Amino acid sequence: MPQANILRPVPLEADWREQLRNVITDGPSLLAELGLDAAALGFSEQACRDFSLRVPRAFVRRMRPGDPNDPLLRQVLAIGDELTSPAGYGPDPTGETGGAIARAGIIHKYRGRLLLVVTGGCAINCRYCFRRHFPYGDNQNSRREWRQALDYVANDPSITEVILSGGDPLVADDDYLAELCGHIAAIPHVRRLRVHSRLPIVLPDRVTPELLSALSPAGLQTVMVVHCNHANELDTDVARAFAHIRERGITLLNQSVLLAGVNDSVAALVALSEALFAHGALPYYLHLLDKVRGAAHFDLPEQRARELHAAITAELPGYLVPKLVREIAGEPAKTPISPARGPH
């Protein structure tokens, strides 16, 4: 696995909340730290007004100074390409606001499981985020409102899994999460708690004993799905966070998005799967890009995605090959993408 580059010898703040407050939100400042020129890379202030730039310093330290094509930088840098509006790209590519919101903060698209929008905040703003235009303001709940919202879960015995998402649910404080998870665990027919988060990757100090206790209420099996797109995102701090997660008996999976200029090569995808497994996470999904407005420059033709997936299938053992899927609005589950046919 490539080694992360240390940009400064100064240690990060010890407390994850302090790190979360001190994220970089200014493109020229980010690029100056990397020895890069904002104009040369196409940085766009207008794109930032549409979707703000936000990246933790712990993540910046893994970027390669002087490399305009660094795969981590490309995921977070706002550029002028985001201002184009090709046909077929819109604000709600997965159909969440078109009827899937059962009540404020609850997205119920698939049978047997539903998603709670715990918070609208993230530690990092990924430029390809399919929820970059999501109406978070209309889907916020106080603690009292969450208790009422969970009546929806309690009244539907078909729901066996509750998914915490956002934003990023781990931006919330430990006591808030402990209370929410405790209420979920008290619903008899819910067996699993799934947590989707980027924080163990981009801000690994967030993984504390208090957090893991909050996410491990008695009576529930907990699954954590982290989101890593490139092997360079994984360093010793992430490895330590993963180890703590697994020590608590939490199943650790990873989902990635196939992104042009980031991981769209056989070498990058193979390295990612190998590095994830070495760190204790099992590759789970490789998503085709959700066609959200502002992210078209990350998209790849489906045939190219099939070819890449077929090639990594030929190189890796089956348990290291993530499922290649696309989310289609209105479908009852994620849609598997069939393998490429013929030579690749």
- The better pLDDT of the pair 329, 123 is held by 123
Question: With 70 as the cut, is the pLDDT of residue 13 above it?
Answer: no
Question: With 50 as the cut, is the pLDDT of residue 3 above it?
Answer: no
Question: With 60 as the cut, is the pLDDT of residue 115 above it?
Answer: yes
Sign (positive/negative) of CA torsion 118, 124, 126, 132? positive
User: What is the per-residue pLDDT for 208?
Assistant: 97
Distance CA 94, CA 299 (A): 15
Residue 317: is it exposed, middle or buried by C-beta count within 10 angstroms (0-12/13-18/19+)?
Answer: exposed
Distance CA 232, CA 5 (A): 10
pLDDT band at 341 (very low <50, low <70, confident <90, very high): low
CA distances from 262 to 73, 91, 279 (A): 9, 23, 20
> Which residues define the annotated binding site for [4Fe-4S] cluster?
122, 126, 129
- The angle at the Cα of 298, spanning 65 to 169, to the nearest 5 degrees, equals 80
pLDDT band at 104 (very low <50, low <70, confident <90, very high): confident
Distance CA 108, CA 159 (A): 10
Instruction: Give the least confident one: 7-21, 44-58, 121-135.
Output: 7-21
pLDDT band at 184 (very low <50, low <70, confident <90, very high): very high
User: What is the per-residue pLDDT for 134?
Assistant: 87
Name residues whose C-beta falls within 8 Å of residue 236's C-beta, 6 or more positions apart in sequence: none
Mean pLDDT of 26-45: 95
Distance CA 170, CA 227 (A): 13
> Which residues define the annotated binding site?
122, 126, 129
- The tens digit of pLDDT for each residue in 118-173 reads 999 999 999 999 999 988 888 888 888 888 889 999 999 999 999 999 999 999 99
Question: With 70 as the cut, is the pLDDT of residue 106 above it?
Answer: yes
Question: With 80 as the cut, is the pLDDT of residue 344 above it?
Answer: no
- The tens digit of pLDDT for each residue in 185-230 reads 999 999 999 999 999 999 999 999 999 999 999 999 999 999 999 9
pLDDT band at 10 (very low <50, low <70, confident <90, very high): very low
Give residue limits of the domains in the chain.
16-83, 96-336
CA distances from 319 to 225, 243, 311, 315 (A): 16, 20, 15, 12
Please measure the distance between the N-terminal and C-terminal CA atoms of the chain and give it in whole angstroms: 26
The answer to whether 105 touches 146, Cβ cutoff 8 Å, is yes
The answer to whether 132 touches 82, Cβ cutoff 8 Å, is no
- Residue-wise DSSP of 143-185: HHHHHHHHHHHHT-TT--EEEEEES-GGGS-HHHHHHHHHHHH
User: What is the per-residue pLDDT for 144?
Assistant: 83
Q: Given CATH 3.30.420.40, say whether it is the number of domain 96-336.
A: no
- The tens digit of pLDDT for each residue in 244-293 reads 999 999 999 999 999 999 999 999 999 999 999 999 999 999 999 999 99
User: Which CB contacts under 8 angstroms, 24+ apart, belong to 11-15?
Assistant: 12/57, 12/58, 12/205, 14/205, 15/205
User: In 167-250, where do the E strands start and end?
Assistant: 192-197, 221-227
CA distances from 257 to 118, 229, 275, 293 (A): 22, 6, 16, 16
